[in-house]
Amino acid sequence: MYQGKGRCACAGVTVGKILHIITPVTSTSEAAVTYTQDKDQELQLLEQALEQSRQELDALIDKAQAELGAEQAEIFEIHRMMLDDPDICDNIRDTIQNELLTVSCAALKVGEQQAAEFAQLDDDYMKARAADIKDVTARIARNARGEKSLVLTENVVLVADDLQPSQTVALDRSKILGILLRHGTQNSHASILARTMNIPLIINAQLPISLNERSEGAPAADADSVCDLSGHTVALNAVDGTFYIDPDAETTQRIQAVQAEFAAARARQEKLKGQPAISKHGHRIMTFANIGQVDDVEQVLANDAEGIGLFRSEFLYLGRSTPPTEEEQFKAYAKVASTMNGKLVIIRTLDIGADKKVDYFDLPHEENPALGLRALRLCLFMPEIFKTQLRAIFRAAARGNIAMMFPMVTRLKEVERVLKICDEVEAELKANQVEYKRPKIGIMIETPAAAILSRSLAEHVDFFSIGTNDLNQYTTACDRQNENLADYSDPHHEAVIELLRIIAQNAHAAGIPVGICGELAADPELTDTFIEMGFDELSVSPGAVLALRERICNSEAQCLNPCPAALDKLQAH
């Protein structure tokens, strides 16, 4: 039996036979370079491959719309448009003509080049866009080679280096028991589609070099060293991130018990849809969800979140050569607000910097970007960029229930300056007779400075939302991206917990609601603590909403910092 571990991307438990899918070749570095003696023939073959790819994607769009809904079908509509994109098609033609490469090699080379700049971004959403380009060009190459698509004939657990979105949708999902990937991200299309289809998924899995290894053996270092696992049995626990290949009888029995427990918990939690999260002693907490793109709204509604506590707006800015226009932003914000149908949507203004960068801002190099020109500091440094976003948010607020919050606040002077800019934006919209609504304004408390000053800051804003990821990082002086500091970066650090208590007390002293939108909000060990501190709202990933609601409803904790007026304000947004 081999035991491995990975990261859960879609919760669930299953046991089944493995089908190990060899990841399609998507780059020239993975394939032998081949040349042509007849470039005219290759150009003709390219047109045939493009047409076949269009037909396949048309069929995938129809399948995705029927089985998954319009939002997920948009992935393949984008792929379909890429097949007519001159930046892709003309570059493939030029590569064939100038370098005498075959269609397959030319398509892979162009895809690799165009995906490279996306893949360099330290942002999961933009890395997924790189995967889109490589998916499309790999499809062209595959059709040029005359390869056939995989068809499932029995129930299996898919194991792969990674899965392209088109692979995930094209397969018969009724036969997919679970998915185990050596790579992948939480925001990759494969992860999003797995959550939509409710398929247990583990990413970043430690797949074995050989099955002679035992649990203490080293995982494979690269795709080439992973052994073919097809035909073997795997017990997949996508609740704690563990998996067992060829499990013994005791392990199989234990996993099956976990599977039954998970199914029972999910059935219980489904019954909580439409119900408020109220503890045994009567403390009410709003259960919200975090999203990073427009498509995530479907999962928010499917999991019955009462609102969106964090809408990360930077996805609109990343992976492009110019900033998004006011109209682009307005449409994205308005679409989310409209889809949420009256439920509160809290938009976090631009949080670029640190691990998220864009070339077109042309910012100077920083030795320590986490402590540099990022988030609100960047917005105040580039006020026209900031005002464009604010105008879009003000306009979208007229179409739905929108609030906005500013990240990385450290002092009152910043808040006063932001409020002045908001006044200017409102005056401009009013003077130009543009439909708008001034949204409620909050700030993120994610620096020790803001936590310490939270009593005075609370007098100037409508709500607080605590970003516990950065608050923990800045309080404990631990880079959360540094794996070597994992033992020092304790989310339950006494100083962090004390700051949370202080922030909640100061918010309620001023009569404003306070919530948490960082990863700590979903920590089951802290639910009772958050009730005791009096938090009004917790915002977690969509799939964690109902489990959080259940923990709140079952809690015997007593709220020590009640503020009914704050909750009323949150519900009245």
What is the distance between the alpha carbons of residues 130 and 133, in angstroms, rounded to a whole number?
5
Residue 237 marked ligand-binding? no
Instruction: Report phi then psi at 468, rounded to 5.
Output: -70, -25
- Of the candidates 10, 105, 517, 559, the residue annotated as catalytic is 517
Q: What's the token pair of residue 366?
A: 């920083």
Could you tell me whether strands 242-245 and 344-348 are parallel, antiparallel, or unpaired per DSSP bridges?
Answer: unpaired
Residue 426 marked ligand-binding? no
The type of residue at 371 is L
Residue 290 marked ligand-binding? no
Q: Are 531 and 284 in contact (CB under 8 A)?
A: no
* Residue 517 is a catalytic residue: yes
Quick check: helix, strand or coil at residue 352? coil
Instruction: Provide the CA 180 distance to its chain's centre, in angstroms.
Output: 18
- Of the candidates 189, 283, 508, 573, the residue annotated as catalytic is 189
With both helix axes pointing from N to C terminus, report the angle between 189-197 and 70-82 in degrees, rounded to the nearest 10.
150
Beta bridge partners of 332: none
Residue 312 marked ligand-binding? yes
What is the distance between the alpha carbons of residues 177 and 198, in angstroms, rounded to a whole number?
10
Instruction: Report phi then psi at 173, rounded to 5.
Output: -65, -20
Which residue, 24, 41, 162, is CA-closest to 102?
41
What is the distance between the alpha carbons of residues 217 and 181, in angstroms, rounded to a whole number?
19
Residue 348 marked ligand-binding? yes
In the 3-class helix/strand/coil scheme, how is 217-283 assigned residue by residue? CCECCCHHHCCCCCCCEEEEECCCCEEEECCCHHHHHHHHHHHHHHHHHHHHHHCCCCCCEECCCCC
Residue 480 marked ligand-binding? yes
Known binding positions for Mg(2+): 446, 470
Q: Which residues are catalytic?
A: 189, 517
Known binding positions: 312, 348, 446, 469-470, 480
Known binding positions for phosphoenolpyruvate: 312, 348, 469-470, 480
